[in-house]
Amino acid sequence: MSPLQPTSEDERWMARCLELAAAAATADEVPVGALVVVDGVVVGEGQNRVEAQRSPLAHAELLAVQAALAAVGQKRLPSAVVYCTLEPCFLCAGALLHARVAKVVFGARDPKFGAVRSLATLLEDPRLNHRCTVVEGVGASASAELLRAFFRAKRG
């Protein structure tokens, strides 16, 4: 799988994700923000709410996808692009695959829990009827710095 270059649209939407991530950090949540964009329009957005909702399922990506599905009134998002400041974990990556999103763009890699890069090779299997493009590293340094600052503050 050869890495794809980000577009100017990818940069634009990731800037909004970084704002959501910063808002999550202000709310004492792990700073992750996500958007779902269909045909150039944001149809769902989310930021981590795990602590606020007291739920391990309240990840930014899941909240953004749920909002998008409700907004478009469908159970799949075949033309959607999902933007996220941090590489989605296995839980979120699975949800993105089941929603049949067209593209996932993320900023910082998650070496401990990240799953999108490993799932991307599965998506290249010609036996599957769904393809998902993965673009990584958009806003990576800003995303990583938000995370570092958040956890530095937590450690005191």
Question: What are the residue numbers of the active site?
Answer: 61
How far is Cα 135 from Cα 120, in angstroms, rounded to an integer? 10
DSSP state at residue 114: B
Angstrom CA distances, 91 to 16, 53, 123, stand at 23, 17, 16
How far is Cα 130 from Cα 97, in angstroms, rounded to an integer? 9
Judge residue 112's burial from the number of C-beta atoms within 10 Å of its C-beta, 0-12 exposed, 13-18 middle, 19 or more buried. Answer: exposed
